[in-house]
Structure 1
Amino acid sequence: MTKSKSLIVYILTFGVFGIINTEMGVIGILPRIAEQFGISASQAGLLVSLFALAVAIAGPVLPLLFSGMNRKTAMLLVIGLFVVTNVVSVYAPNFAVLLIARIVPAFLHPVYFSVAFVAAANTVSKEQVTRVTAKVFMGVTAGMVIGTPITSFIADTVSLEAALWFFAVVNAVTFAAILLFVPSMPVREKLTYGEQLGVLKKPLVWLSIATVIAINSAMYAAYSFFAEYLDAVTHMSGKQISLMLVLFGLTGIAGNLAAGKSLHRRAIPTALVYPFAFGAVYALVFALGDFTVPMMILIAVWGVLFTLGLNISQYWITSAASEAPDFANGLFVAFANLGITVGTSIGGAFMAGMGARYVVIAGISFLALGLVLIAARAALYGPRKRQAGRRSAA
């Protein structure tokens, strides 16, 4: 039984990898897409920005609508749509068709994430939820950091079409695995839409949403310009930058494992320390960005803290709205993507106005805001406050 549940978690994780790989892997092949369809680089960038926008729009809505569906059925529908649209992308006759094939599945992206987190949590006891969630987050890290160089390598060594086929094949493998090895997962306690939307009446939920936006903005203000920073400031070659992306991803996976243990044991202290630790790394990146060896060490630590931030963000919202887990995970996906948009925009403004080195200053600014919000939640809704509230109610 334990082995069977572990297999389910790994399948869910691979599904997350497939979806994130579809979303982020295209970044490495945008120049080839622009050349293939005779469009500008900014037009090709719509494949990324509109995908993220669709995720942010759908996040609070579609997981709510799918919350009563058998979770296996929901996952098969989402992954099946990704397979079909990825195949359409391979044979797209023009950029408009390619763009539509990207945007349509993006709306169901939050549904898979929401269902996968809840399904994974249901395989373990309540005390182990943060650890199993961290394992599912490994798919996010692998999709963001490892999927991108793999896709670029396939495009460079074989063809653009082969790289697009890579997206389809990964999702097809996930579909087959879910179909064959994941049991039926009916929703036993279906909440009404009103009950789920009711969590939005809680100030704690809105405080947590603001924190997620701040933390993800802090992360992506610098990470979105990772390659530009290493090129302009550290003066690394293209191959070196690719290796740094892989290093970042590998340490990020280690960060997922550490996050599960840390959040399980000391969630509030972990969240409070996080902005200080990440801020220190950003400060060192700013000061030592010209030196290759120190930057390699800092990138390794950066990868750990990056995925820790993702785990904290997911925990922060789902623990605030634990009575509606599907909806809570949809909120996480939506507002994390909003944070990506905000952070990337502000980081880009800092880079355009002051230079690549200063994107980390944008990150530090958002971390300061995140610290204030985390401290506010700890003060207003910490364990002692809840215990006092229970005693007074009794």
Structure 2
Amino acid sequence: MKAERKNLLVLILAVGVFGILNTEMGVIGVLPLIADKFNVSISSAGLVVSLFALAVALSGPTMPLLFSRMNRKTTMLLVLGVFILSNIVSALTTNFTVLLIARVIPALFHPIYVSLAFTVAAASVRKEEVPKAVSKIFIGVSAGMVLGVPVTSIAAAATSLSLAMLFFAIVHIVVFITTLLFVPSMPVREPLSYGAQVSVLKKTMTWLSITAVILMNGAVFGVYSYLSEYLETITKMTWNTISFMLLLYGTANMIGNILAGKLLTKNAFKTAAIFPFALGAVYIIWYWAGHFSVLMAIIVLLWGILAGIGANINQYWITSAAPEASEFANGLFLTSANLGTTFGSTICGLIISGWGIQYIVFGGFLFLIGSAASIFLRNSLCNPAKQFS
């Protein structure tokens, strides 16, 4: 495949991932409008987010495995078609139960496309260039998470909730057409049996990698889940300023994705080994400087960059443990990352309830200690000779 076609393929995949993450996260900014339209409580409206995330976590290991032997272009078109139809139904329905069903169905297919995007991007380049290709897909992930909320909110305010939710479908229609026209047929040349793929779970390295990813993601998103509350309560920022800080975090996240590709290509283990200590240093500064707005802006910038790097480390850490079953491994990554977010937000929530919001970084520290131990244990047990090569 020529370089131009490879770049176009990765771009289409990145935009596709952006659309899928946009569908998942974009509704966060319009939850009050959903509650009003369907005459439900705000907590009930939140089910459109929580049920989507739960479906992703449950289908992460299974759905990519089930579709791993199908032509990859066909699979992409199928998933995009499901998202298009589900988003149209979500935009047009006036029944809340139908809305929830229309959210859960595409969520089950979410891990298929995202894991496939990572796999195809990695397969399109030489082995040493894989982290850089994957980092471009993560830019789509970050953009979907960062831009989804404000774009949907602005569109809903300017038009209506239904038209704003149709934006999700429009993105997928564009990706569907470009995939149909420009992505070549990609049959799986030597498909692994389902049993051969699942057998990677027999390896100690796989489980140590899963543990590290859960803990690393918990260290980031356990704290991130309560960032707005911290900035309002401790830093005394206005909501407009908090919105800017969230955008700053997301932009920094995309910068981290770009840096991660270069760092993981140069030395993956050193990058992973340093990550918990670098993030821990940021959390230490945060604990002492959280009252100062300017310092918090710098902290959020650094934190966002590290979080972007961390997301790439997580994906690499699991897929490098099971390279023979890349799509199944990417599914394991998605499930592990979602579990890390769930555990992190729960533990940090308990810390807030018991001690107060000012101690939120302590929860992040707990996860960082565990992640550092898991990283070093994986390499000492499974690859002792190459730890710092």
> 1:237 & 1:71 partners in 2: Cα distance?
47
Counterpart residue number, 1:104? 105
> 2:284 & 2:174 partners in 1: Cα distance?
42
How do residues 1-394 of structure 1 correspond to structure 2 at under 5 angstroms? 1-382=2-383, 384=385
Give a deviation string over 1:289-311, Cα, whole Å, max 9, x none. Answer: 11111111111111111111111
> 1:366 & 1:32 partners in 2: Cα distance?
35
- Alignment RMSD (CA, Å): 1.4
Any idea what SS the aligned residue of 1:184 has? coil
> 1:40 & 1:330 partners in 2: Cα distance?
33
> 1:207 & 1:254 partners in 2: Cα distance?
28
Q: Sort the Cα spacing of 1:385 and 1:280 in 2 relative to 1 into closer, same or farther, 3 A.
A: closer
The amino acid that maps onto 1:99 is: L
> 1:184 & 1:50 partners in 2: Cα distance?
33
Measured after TM superposition, the shift of residue 157 of structure 1 is 2.7
Measured after TM superposition, the shift of residue 156 of structure 1 is 2.3
> 1:176 & 1:355 partners in 2: Cα distance?
50
Consecutive unaligned residues of structure 2, counting only runs of 5 or more, are none
The amino acid that maps onto 1:201 is: K
> 1:312 & 1:217 partners in 2: Cα distance?
14
Measured after TM superposition, the shift of residue 356 of structure 1 is 2.3
Asked if the contact 1:146/1:245 (under 8 Å) is kept, the reply is no
Measured after TM superposition, the shift of residue 189 of structure 1 is 1.1
Measured after TM superposition, the shift of residue 351 of structure 1 is 2.3
> 1:348 & 1:152 partners in 2: Cα distance?
26
Q: Sort the Cα spacing of 1:104 and 1:324 in 2 relative to 1 into closer, same or farther, 3 A.
A: same
The amino acid that maps onto 2:202 is: K
Any idea what SS the aligned residue of 2:171 has? helix
> 2:236 & 2:156 partners in 1: Cα distance?
25
Any idea what SS the aligned residue of 2:189 has? coil
Give the aligned length: 387
The amino acid that maps onto 1:382 is: N
> 2:285 & 2:246 partners in 1: Cα distance?
19
> 2:299 & 2:157 partners in 1: Cα distance?
29
Consecutive unaligned residues of structure 1, counting only runs of 5 or more, are 387-394
> 1:71 & 1:107 partners in 2: Cα distance?
17
Using the size of structure 1 for normalisation, the TM-score is: 0.95
Measured after TM superposition, the shift of residue 385 of structure 1 is 6.2
